[in-house]
Structure formats: C-alpha cells, structure tokens
Amino acid sequence: MLVAGIDAGSNTVKVILMEGNQILAQRIAKAGANSLNVVNDSIEKALKDHGKRMEELVSIVSTGYGRDNISFATSQATEIFCHAAGVVLSMPEVRTVIDIGGQDSKIIYLDDSGQVIDFVMNDKCAAGTGRFIEMLAIALETPLEEMGPLSIKAQGEIKISNTCTVFAESEVISYLAKGIPREEIISGVHHSIVTRILAMTRLRKMHGDICFTGGVAKNIGVVRWMEKELGRPLCIPEEPQLTGAIGAAVIALERIGESE
C-alpha cells in the first residue's frame, strides 16, 4: 500500500512516498513564500515519476511547521515523533537523536524499544538552528554547501562568542576585517552552534548510539565539531534532511485504516 510523509519545514519541504517498508520516492524543495504550492508540486512530481496517482495514497501524514495547512493530509504528527520514527527505521540501535533544522533544534531521547521518552527543544531564538549558519554564510559570502568542506581546512581556531545571530554576524565581519582566514571563522561558527546544541543535552544524559539529523547534519564541519565535543562518532542517515518525512511516512503506514 502506498503512503506519503510530508515534512513542511520552515526552510524546505520534504516528501517521501513509501510502499510497504520501502522508500519509493523522495523530494526536497525550497519552501519559499508559498510553501503550500511547493508541497503540492513536490508530491505530484513524486507520484508522476513512479506512475502513481494521488488516489492511490491510503495514508498521508504531515509534519513540520506547515503540518496543519496541508488539506489532503489524512493526519498530522509532530517532528519529534517523525524524527524518532525515521531514525529507528534504518538505525534501530539509536537512543538519542540530535536534530538541527531551519528554525528548531531538538534532542530526542528514545527508550530501548525506540519509543520517544523525552525531548528538549531550543529556546525560541534562531541561535542553535540552521538559520544561524545560513545567515553567517551570507555574511561570509560563502555558499551554504561550501561551509562544511571549507571549515575542515581551518588551521587555527577562533571563537564566536555571540549566540545572537545578528550580533554574531557583526562579530564575523569584524574578524574578516582583521584578516582572519575565512575557514577559521567558519569553523568558529560551527563550533559555536555545536556548543549551543550540546548545552541542551546537559539536562539528560545521552545513551546508546547518537544520530544527527536535519539539514545541518549535511555540514561536515558541524559533524566534526559535534563528534569532537561528544568524544564519540555520530550515526548520520544517508539523507539527514529527509528523516522527518521518512518518519512521517512510517507513521502513515502505522496509521493505515485509523484515519478518515
């Protein structure tokens, strides 16, 4: 049976089609100003690519900030549960999920059966989210996808002390003015976000394998700092940005027959 998981995030829209336990199609698109259109487009294209029709979807779960606005979704689930379900599908040993998305970051704690037992989310400020890196990439005139590879070339290290995105921006500009190599500044930016995220884990001990999800997990610089700070390797899904949508599809599978 065909199901869909839609993660309508603040920055990007992610769509997964699943048949049985197999992922049939996946799409990531910029949310832009009209994310509903992007959701519609993405799902239509994903279906069309595989010769499927909307009517064949028996269960559609939406998650992310836009989850309540997707009229054709049969039910909704929060990102917390979607990320957990998405991770457990491919990495059943994981007991802690660190997710850094565009507007939120979260630590999700799982029990031995992979069920969510607790979660912590960032406070409402953009520091500690993907948006922090995006804004500083603009200030550094560096394409987002180059931030990771560049930063691991850094020879030295500088410290970004401002957690506020706006103030960090002027801090970065002052480092540039001082002639500090860009790689070192970028590495400092990554270190800063990692420190901020790991501060959230002090409230509850992490156990088992730790998985890093969300768009920021694609950034090798952040991954390296996170591993260094934690003193252990991280599990990273093949496409970390899709974890929430995969989880939504998994929940859609579980909910077949329950909805409507």
Partner 1 sequence: MSQKAKKRALDTSYEVAAILKNYWAEIHAAKKDGKPVAWASGNGPVELLYAFGILPAYPENYAAVLASRQMALDFCQMAESMGFSRDLCSYSKINLGDLLWKGKEKPAMPFDGLPLPPDLLVTTRIPCLVQVKWWEVLEDWYHCPLMILDAPLVDGSPTEDQIDYIVVQLKEMISKLEDFTHTKFDEQKFIEALKLSDEAAGYWDEIMDLRGSVPCPVGAREMCGNVFPLVAMLGTQVPVDFYKKMRDELRSKVEMKAAMVPDEKIRLIYDNIPIWYHLELFSYVEQFGAVFVMETYLRYVWGGRIDLRDPYRGYARKILSNVWLNMSVETRFKTLVNDIKKHKADGVVFLSNRSCRRYSIGQYELRDMLQQELGIPSLVIEADHSDPSGYSESQTKLRMDSFIELIKRRK
Query: What's the CA gap between 3 and 249, in Å, rounded?
Result: 6
Among 23, 77, 216, 249, binds partner 1 (CB under 8 A): 77
Residue of the chain from 34, 37, 115, 259 that contacts partner 1 (CB under 8 A): 115
- The reply to whether 103 sits near partner 1 by the rule CB under 8 A is yes
> If binding is defined by CB under 8 A, does position 81 make contact with partner 1?
yes
3-state helix, strand, coil in the chain (%, to 5): 45, 20, 35
Task: Please compute, for residue 225, the number of CA atoms within 13 A of its CA located in the half-sphere on the CB side.
Answer: 28
Residue 127 CB partners (closer than 8 Å, separation 6+) = 163, 164, 165, 168, 193, 196
**Pairing of the two strands 75-76 and 94-100:** unpaired
CB of 200 to partner 1, least distance (A): 11
Q: Does 36 bind partner 1 (CB under 8 A)?
A: no
Query: Taking CB under 8 A as the rule, does residue 123 contact partner 1?
Result: yes
Work out whether 124 is an interface residue with partner 1 (CB under 8 A).
yes
Alpha helices by DSSP H, the chain? 35-49, 79-90, 130-139, 144-151, 165-177, 182-200, 220-230, 243-254
Q: Quick check: 205 binds partner 1 (CB under 8 A)?
A: no
d(CA 121, CA 140): 28
Q: Should residue 201 be labelled a site residue for partner 1 when binding is judged by CB under 8 A?
A: no
Classify the C-alpha dihedral 29-109-236-197 as positive or negative.
positive
Among 7, 99, 104, 183, binds partner 1 (CB under 8 A): 104
In angstroms, give the least distance from the CB of 7 to partner 1.
Answer: 13
Q: How far is the CB of 76 from partner 1 (least distance, A)?
A: 8
**Interface residue with partner 1, options 8, 59, 100, 119 (CB under 8 A):** 119
Query: Rule CB under 8 A: which residues touch partner 1?
Result: 65, 77-81, 103-104, 115-119, 121, 123-124, 203-204
